[in-house]
Amino acid sequence: MSATAPDSATSSDENGRFAWYRTLGQRGRRAFVGAFGGYGLDSYDFQVLPLGLVAITAYFGITKGEAGLLTTVTLVVSALGGAIAGVLADRLGRTRALMITVVTYAVFTVLCGFATSYEMLLVFRALQGLGFGGEWAVGAILVAEYCQPRYRGRTVAFIQSSWAVGWALSVLVYALVFELVHPDLAWRVLFFTGALPALLIIYVRRRVQDAPEATARRTASAERGSFGAIFTGPLARTTLFASLLATGVQGGYYTLATWLPTYLKSERGLTVIGTGGYLAFLISGAFTGYVCGGHLTDKLGRKRTFALFSVLSAALILLYTRIPEGANTTILFLGFPLGFCMSAIFSGFGSFLSELYPAHLRGTGQGFTYNSGRAVGALFPAAVGFAAESAGVGGAMAFGAAAYGIAVLALLGLPETLGRELG
């Protein structure tokens, strides 16, 4: 059986549209709420930087390359944070590790608002990456260990969908703050709102527990999470190619997440409200993509879903950034399929990486592969920033399309895990 709580749903609850949620049981549903909220607020705290990047660039008088480094350093340090959080999840438990990551990213997001120099902002943003890197991996494992195998893909995909929810909330707050407050102060206010995750800690501490059966399997092993173990024997190949897959997918995604607001403002001539409207189409597509991608990963398999959306995402990036001037309406509507594909590809990550590793190494394996991929993928936004000086932001975003090609190649070295038990 999969690792579920003793109060799991009965067989009468195992069919129907929301069976994936009912079969989690009461404890699993509480874990779902905690992980959903944690990842949504993780998204919120990440997105306030790209949204305020134009104002930050002007305030500190930095170049586009230096602006890109703010995202790159966050993602690079997130690799360390994710790896550490994975080990903590295997040694201290999933719930405790989840609380540690949420507190970390909330505190340093707020401190970004107090930065008095570009260098100080760079340091605080890097430290925010410690918590940002760990939250998703820990939350995904926490929920995956409550899931039945046939519903795992779509259940963890719903956790992924909270990224779009947090993104949408950040855009709404951004539009409000930048309309009411001068840009020199508005970007600071955005960072101050990053304190919101503190409210989630109260819920997680009181209501969320690790899946009992998974905990029993994990603690029964003489081994505890260690980096050496995931590079030993057959797991070494898995770790290498899973990291490469994460590099490609996240390199493409963070190219878009970092530079799309700047592209819309600087090269398409949109206002703050106009940019928010265009991003609304993208975010709507993203939420739909997360949900639909989860169903597809349970139907088509993990690898086919990754391959399908890698190819589509690469094609849409090239198309989106090459629409001629005067055709902004086309870009508006193209945002929905772009958001759909770039997000649907993430739907299988939580289930796929959880299924690749045994219980006592699941946190370490997932934390390392996802976040080492994020660190290397972080080079793509920086590359766009430096290339944009000569090629323009739109032209330089072709780096994102190239990243998805890396993801397709990585799939050649990984097994299909659809239906695998989390033993």
pLDDT in tens, 252-278: 988 887 777 777 777 776 665 566 777
The pLDDT value given to residue 10: 47
Residue type, 253: Y
Over the range 100-120, which residues count as b (16 or more CB within 10 Å of their CB) and which as e? Answer: bbbebbbbbbbbbbebeebee
Note down the domain range covering 97.
24-209+227-413
pTM over 0.75: no
The domain that contains 298 carries what CATH number?
A: 1.20.1250.20
Q: How far apart are CA 355 and CA 362, in angstroms?
A: 8
In-domain check, residue 8: no
Alpha-carbon dihedral 380, 384, 387, 392, rounded to 10 degrees? 160
Distances (CA, A) of 15 to 3, 12, 259: 19, 7, 42
In-domain check, residue 156: yes
In-domain check, residue 302: yes
Q: How far apart are CA 171 and CA 51, in angstroms?
A: 7
Q: Do 363 and 94 contact (CB within 8 A), yes or no?
A: yes
In-domain check, residue 9: no
Mean pLDDT of the chain: 85
In-domain check, residue 11: no
The pLDDT value given to residue 254: 81
In-domain check, residue 256: yes
Hey, how many other C-beta atoms are within 10 angstroms of the C-beta on 37?
Answer: 22
Among candidate residues 88, 78, 87, 357, the one with its CA nearest the CA of residue 242: 357
In-domain check, residue 17: no
Q: How far apart are CA 384 and CA 395, in angstroms?
A: 9
In-domain check, residue 5: no
pLDDT in tens, 346-399: 888 888 988 999 878 888 888 889 888 888 887 887 788 788 777 777 777 888
Most confident among 236-240, 296-300, 322-326, 371-375 (mean pLDDT): 236-240
The pLDDT value given to residue 184: 94
Distances (CA, A) of 384 to 65, 142, 145, 255, 361: 8, 35, 38, 7, 35
Q: Do 89 and 141 contact (CB within 8 A), yes or no?
A: yes
Give how many domains the chain has, as a whole number: 1
